[in-house]
């Protein structure tokens, strides 16, 4: 120690090294506490239902809770899904967006509930031929109430959930709230009539851009760049939020949302009756 004190501290260069190098070294060390910004990506290629929505919500919450994630890109290819799960996702997305910018990149389709979710973002990209829109609700009306000899309930609509007329009328407020979300999300960018939007049409990306349903035609890379720009970051890294939020082994599980026919073929129809923000392609309506 004595050697160190006499040998080094008395060296003519000792003082400049101490007061120049040490703060710099400390500065370098502390600078590492400034995280490299991350643009998180959430990939959603499924219908919106409880399991898929649960996965996405976990990833949105992870992004919300982690400051190094400066922006999120939601890559979307979905026909929509259940009303309640769509609303859950939408509100969770809005919560994240209050804190961080969110950009949506539509791949093949963002129909119905998926578009509901998309309008919650700051910016929407789609491909020129992506299918976008299908704003509206669909349901299957319940059977007319009847009574059975061996199956008893405590009320006429216990089996059915409501009358056919009430079920039909339920769609109207759902449609209106959907449309309101579109108006709030797209704002002045919206360049078409309410009637055109509410017709339930699916628009291709280029047409959706013309109507102001999306902001730009572009790639996933452009979506990342846009998210980074909105977050005012550069030299960022991108990370898939699924393994971060759900564990490294996590993979998307397609859990029986769609009805399967007797031969195991998946139909475009959901298993359960109910109200859906869902696009069902009329591809094959034959009975199995």
Partner 1 sequence: MKRYRIPIAAALFLLPLLARAVWFYQGIFWRAETIATPDYESFTIPQPPLSTSVPAAELAPSHAIILLDQAHANMFSPSELETLTGILHTRGARVESVALGSYDNRTLADQLKYASAYISVCPISAYSTAEIQLLQDFVRGGGRLLILTDPTRSAVTYDYYGYGSATVMADVIAANSLLAPYDIAFVDDYLYNMSFYEGNYRNVFFTDFSANPLTKDLSKIVLYAAHSLQTGSGTVLIQSSQTTKSSRTDTDGAYGVAAVDAGTHVLAIGDLTFLQPPYNQVADNAILIRHIADFLLEAPRIHDLKDFPFLFQREVAIVPMSDVLLSANLLGPIRTLQQDLAGVGIGSAMAPGVMAGKDLILLATFSSPGIGDYLKPLGIQLPSLTAYPSARGYPQIEIPGFGSVPASGIGLILFSRTETRSTLILLAEDSASLTDLLGVIGPEGFSNCVLQGDVAVCGLGGGFGDFGSSWWQPYGAASDDLPPDLTSTPVPAG
Residues within the interface to partner 1 (CB under 8 A): 19-20, 22-24, 26-28, 30-32, 34, 36-37, 70-71, 90-91, 94, 97-101, 120, 163, 165-166, 168-174, 176-177, 180-181, 184, 194-195, 198-199, 230-236, 285-287
Q: Which is nearer to partner 1, 97 or 226 (CB)?
A: 97
Nearer to partner 1, 25 or 253 (CB): 25
Least Å distance, CB 87 to partner 1, is 8
| Closer residue to partner 1 in complex, CB, 217/233 | 233
Which is nearest to 90 in space by CA: 65, 64, 115, 67? Answer: 115
Task: Give the closest residue to 189 by CA, choosing from 137, 107, 122.
Answer: 122
Considering the complex, what minimum distance in angstroms separates the CB of residue 258 from partner 1?
Answer: 20
DSSP-derived pairing of the beta strands 80-82 and 276-278: antiparallel
What distance in Å separates the CA atoms of residue 68 and residue 235, rounded to the nearest whole number? 13
CB of 235 to partner 1, least distance (A): 5
Q: In DSSP terms, which residues pair with 131 in a beta bridge?
A: 109, 204
Contact 275, 80 (CB under 8 A): no
Which of 89, 103, 105, 108 shows the shortest CA–CA distance to 48?
A: 89
Q: Which of 94, 216 has the CB closer to partner 1?
A: 94
The nearer residue to partner 1, 5 or 286, going by C-beta atoms, is: 286
In degrees to the nearest 10, what's the CA dihedral of 136, 201, 76, 121?
-70
User: Torsion-angle region of residue 161: left (phi > 0), alpha (psi -120 to 50) or beta?
Assistant: left
- To partner 1, the closest distance from the beta carbon of 226 in angstroms equals 13
Shortest Å, Cβ 145 to partner 1: 12
Nearer to partner 1, 128 or 173 (CB): 173
Query: For residues 2 and 143, which CB has a smaller minimum distance to partner 1 in the complex?
Result: 143
**Entry field: residues in the chain:** 288
What is the smallest separation between the CB atom of 283 and partner 1, expressed in angstroms?
Answer: 12
Distance in Å, CB of 33 to partner 1, minimum: 8
- Least distance from C-beta 191 to partner 1, angstroms? 18
Partners of residue 73 on adjacent β-strands: 41, 103
Rg of the chain (C-alpha set) = 26
Residue 142, number of CB atoms within 10 A of its CB: 16
Q: Which is nearer to partner 1, 7 or 15 (CB)?
A: 15
On whether the CB atoms of residues 49 and 85 are closer than 8 A, the answer is yes
Q: Which residue has the tokens 């998926």?
A: 114
């Amino acid at each position: 120690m004595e050697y160190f004190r006499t040998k080094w501290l008395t060296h003519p260069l000792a003082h400049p090294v101490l007061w120049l190098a040490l703060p710099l070294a400390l500065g370098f060390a502390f600078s590492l506490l400034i995280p490299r910004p991350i643009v998180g990506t959430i990939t959603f290629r499924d219908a919106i239902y409880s399991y898929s929505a649960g996965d996405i919500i976990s990833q949105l919450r992870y992004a919300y809770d982690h400051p190094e994630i400066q922006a999120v890109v939601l890559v979307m290819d979905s026909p929509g899904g259940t009303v309640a799960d769509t609303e859950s996702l939408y509100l969770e997305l809005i919560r994240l967006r209050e804190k961080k910018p969110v950009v949506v990149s539509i791949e093949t389709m963002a129909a119905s509930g998926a578009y509901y979710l998309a309008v919650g973002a700051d910016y929407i990209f789609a491909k020129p031929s992506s299918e976008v829109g299908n704003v509206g609700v669909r349901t299957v009306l319940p059977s007319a109430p009847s009574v059975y000899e061996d199956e008893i309930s405590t009320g006429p609509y216990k089996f059915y959930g409501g009358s056919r007329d009430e079920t039909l009328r339920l769609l109207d407020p759902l449609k209106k709230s959907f449309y309101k979300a579109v108006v709030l999300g797209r704002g002045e960018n919206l360049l078409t009539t309410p009637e055109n939007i509410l017709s339930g049409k699916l628009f291709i990306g280029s047409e959706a851009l013309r109507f102001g349903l999306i902001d730009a035609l572009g790639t996933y890379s452009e979506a990342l760049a846009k998210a980074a720009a909105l977050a005012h970051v550069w030299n960022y890294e991108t990370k898939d939020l699924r393994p971060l939020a759900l564990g490294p082994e996590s993979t998307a599980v397609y859990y029986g949302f769609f009805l399967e026919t007797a031969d195991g073929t998946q139909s475009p129809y959901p298993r359960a009756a109910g109200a859906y923000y869902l696009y069902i392609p009329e591809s094959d309506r034959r009975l199995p």
